[in-house]
Amino acid sequence: MKYLSEYRDPELVGQYLNELHKTVTQTWTIMEICGGQTHSLVKHGLLAMMPSGINMVHGPGCPVCVTPLNLIDKAVYLAEEKRVILCSFGDMIRVPGSKKSLLEAKAGGADVRILYSPLEAVEIAVSNPDREVVFFAVGFETTAPANALSVLHAERLGLNNYSILASHVLVPPAMAAIMDDEEARIQGFLAAGHVCTIMGIHEYEPLVEQYKVPIVVTGFEPVDMLHGILMTARQLERGEAKLENQYTRVVQPDGNPDARAVIEKVFCVSDREWRGIGTIPTSGYEVRSEYAAFDANVKFDVHITKAPESSDCIAGQVLKGLKKPHQCSQFGKSCTPISPLGAPMVSSEGACAAYYHFSQAASEELQEA
């Protein structure tokens, strides 16, 4: 398939691996930011193919994983108590809140619908004028334009029964928080290609400057990943710290200005709580007061008491790259995708679930069962 098979070409992969083996002379710790990249590394079996000197740690770029517990509780509450039509991306509905997941709420009779685009939620609002429709707007900068567009679309249609429960997070502040962590030992980053498709690459320049780390904007296919890792390793071996773009076939330096304009129209930057990490200043989007009528947080006066996370879960350390999933004492034991203790075990892009699905642990657990 065009633009896909070329980037999964075994020969090309072999060439990059060769080059990587020739380049790497010591151990380098590199973090891939995006959960999609983590998924790609394990799904294609890349981790074991690379030189042992490449130590990949898996970053916080899984929106489902970092969505705070009480926001899930809020979504469940809206679906169950306020009887709204709660629309969500698929992987969000399995994430357990403090009491239950949206999937369990659905099984209990709540109207929870899985959509692939927020614009579908607007259509549902049009065809159900007597019902409130809420879209659970989760994601990084990548999904923000479509979510914002749904608000503009609803406004244009004069809808008063559509709102979004926004939980948008931003990559650069999270990278700064990771580097500021005293235990941090990240020496290079693969920035998330899709995020940069929207935002461009310039907002990473201050990070390179301040923390003296190479940042390479990278795609998601095996060839992209290896290319991005090679570019990072070359910089590290040369003692450089630059911002580079591997994903040039998709990412323009200035990103997508039209999409950003839509984001800026509807959202403003705010402090945001990241599940497992805590509150990071200026690391999220919230709906601007001008669009309060479309903000489920404002429209439905819901106060959910903040529920405590499982004390056995080391999700925070995993999301910050301090620990690998299998270094958790609960991994594959009390914490599995069937009964996850923390969100990284739930979403297919979560580091723990990726390790679980594509590694030995899964089958070992079945053997014991």
Partner 1 sequence: MPQLDFDIITLGHGSGGLLTHKLLDSGVFDVLKNPLLDARHDGAVFPVEAAQRLAFTTDSFVIAPIFFPGGNIGEIAVFGTVNDLAMCGAIPRYISLAFIIEEGLPMTEFWEVLLGVKSAAERAGVHVVTGDTKVVERGKGDKIFINTSGIGIVHEQASISLSRVAVGDSIILSSSIANHGIAVMAEREGLQFESTITSDTRPLNHAVKRLLDEFGASIHLLRDPTRGGVATTLNEIARDTKLGINIRQKPIAIDEQVYGVCEILGLDPLYVANEGVFVAIVAADAAEAVVERLRGELGSEIGGHEAAVIGEVVSEHPRQVVLQSRIGGRRVVSMLVGEQLPRIC
Write out the residues near partner 1 by the rule CB under 8 A: 1, 4, 8-10, 13-14, 42-46, 48-49, 94, 103, 113, 115-116, 120, 222, 336-338, 348, 356-360, 362-363, 366-367
> Which secondary-structure segment (H or E) carries 59?
strand 54-61
Cβ 114 to partner 1 shortest distance, Å? 8
Which CB sits closer to partner 1, 49 or 269? 49
Cα distances (Å, whole numbers) of residue 206 to 173, 178, 192: 11, 15, 16
Cβ 120 to partner 1 shortest distance, Å? 5
Which CB sits closer to partner 1, 245 or 348? 348
Q: Are strands 267-274 and 278-287 parallel, antiparallel or unpaired?
A: antiparallel
> Which secondary-structure segment (H or E) carries 286?
strand 278-287
Q: Are strands 28-34 and 215-218 parallel, antiparallel or unpaired?
A: unpaired
Cβ 338 to partner 1 shortest distance, Å? 6
Burial class (CB in 10 A: 0-12, 13-18, 19+), 301: exposed
Which CB sits closer to partner 1, 93 or 277? 93
Cβ 79 to partner 1 shortest distance, Å? 17
d(CA 364, CA 362): 5
d(CA 162, CA 149): 13
Which CB sits closer to partner 1, 294 or 356? 356
Compute the residue count for the chain.
369
Cβ 37 to partner 1 shortest distance, Å? 14
Which CB sits closer to partner 1, 103 or 296? 103
- Contact, 291 vs 229, CB < 8 A? no
